[in-house]
Amino acid sequence: MSQKPEKLIDKKGLRLDGRKPDELRPIKIEVGALSNADGSAYIEQGKNKILAAVYGPKEVHPKHMALPDRMVLRCRYHMAPFSVQERKSPAPSRREIELSKVIREAVEPAIFMEYYPRTAIDVFVEVLQADGSTRCASITAASLALADAGIPMRDLVSACSAGKVDDTIVLDLMDTEDKVGSADVPVAFMPNLGVITLLQMDGILTPEEFEKTVNLAIEGCRKIYALQKEALRAKYISVKEVEE
């Protein structure tokens, strides 16, 4: 594919796609994109295109997996074979299994798991096109799909990454920045409650840089949260306008 770019940030301080260091990629969110699912959401973040679908709560199958005091949340993150330049095998890879777990653990704190014991919720995340920080965009979409399914939640979960590229702390890394850059920190955050539900780091940062990076990512999450709420409202407001 493309060879390694020498510089990720030009003299003016702009990034490869012309963004400022603290700028998000353009985001488009649609809630209720799939009619078969109980809840669904579609997100475009830069070149990322991700669909999330939620089924449930429903009876647990196989039955022995049911928990007597809480719901079971099952999550499947999957990348389509055509989502990246080189064909990705459709079989779940090591990375996809890890991301399924990471996404599950990032959205679980937002759900009132103890409300409906002996039931299960299935979350399916399908990456149609990948361009870096897909785990964050997946969490954003998954939490919207859960809210769309009418599952009681403490808050929406917003996720955004930040990292270090050419000695600059930047927000919302894309694929090349993730691969060539020196550090990547994905953060999932519940803005109204001020709770971090996912925090990972790949690379090396000094403690000062780390703090700065996390704070920048949280700022990004807040911006995404506003977009999430707008998307969730848009589904019902459009119905209202048609009638009146």
Partner 1 sequence: MPTFFEKRQLVTPGDLLAEGDYIAGENTYKEGGKIYAARTGLVEYEEKKVSVVALRAFYIPKVGDTVIGTVVEVGFNGWTVDINSPYMAILRATEVLSRPFKPQKNDLTEVLDVGDLVVAKIVAYDRTHDPQLSVNEPGLGKITRGQIVKITPTKIPRVIGKKGSMISLIKQETGCHIILGHNGVILITGKSLEDEELAMRAIRKIDEESHTTGLTDRISQLIKKEKEKKGGSQE
Q: Please give the Cα distance from 47 to 86 (Å, whole number).
A: 16
CA atoms within 13 A on the CB side of 188: 26
Least Å from the CB of residue 232 to partner 1: 5
Q: What is the DSSP letter of 65?
A: G
Residue selected from 53, 102, 149, 173 as contacting partner 1 according to rule CB under 8 A: 149
Q: Do 190 and 211 meet the contact criterion of CB atoms below 8 Å apart?
A: no
Contacts to partner 1 from residues 30-89, by CB under 8 A: 38-39, 56-59, 68
Helix residue ranges, H only, the chain: 94-107, 134-148, 175-180, 207-243
Q: Please give the Cα distance from 50 to 123 (Å, whole number).
A: 13
Q: Is 109 in the site for partner 1 (CB under 8 A)?
A: no
CA-CA-CA-CA torsion sign (176, 182, 187, 191): negative
In the shown chain, the binding pattern of residues 210 to 229 toward partner 1, with x for contact by CB under 8 A and - for none, equals: ------------------xx
Nearer to partner 1, 28 or 233 (CB): 233
Tokens of 199: 């925090």
Q: Is 7 in the site for partner 1 (CB under 8 A)?
A: no
Least Å from the CB of residue 102 to partner 1: 21
Least Å from the CB of residue 119 to partner 1: 4
Q: Please give the Cα distance from 60 to 8 (Å, whole number).
A: 48
Q: Is 190 in the site for partner 1 (CB under 8 A)?
A: yes
Residue selected from 46, 163, 191, 220 as contacting partner 1 according to rule CB under 8 A: 191
Least Å from the CB of residue 34 to partner 1: 14
Identify which of 171, 173, 178 has the alpha carbon closest to the alpha carbon of residue 202.
178
Per rule CB under 8 A, count of chain residues that contact partner 1: 37
Residues at the contact surface with partner 1, assessed by CB under 8 A: 38-39, 56-59, 68, 110, 112, 116-119, 147-156, 190-193, 228-229, 232-233, 236-237, 239-240, 243-244
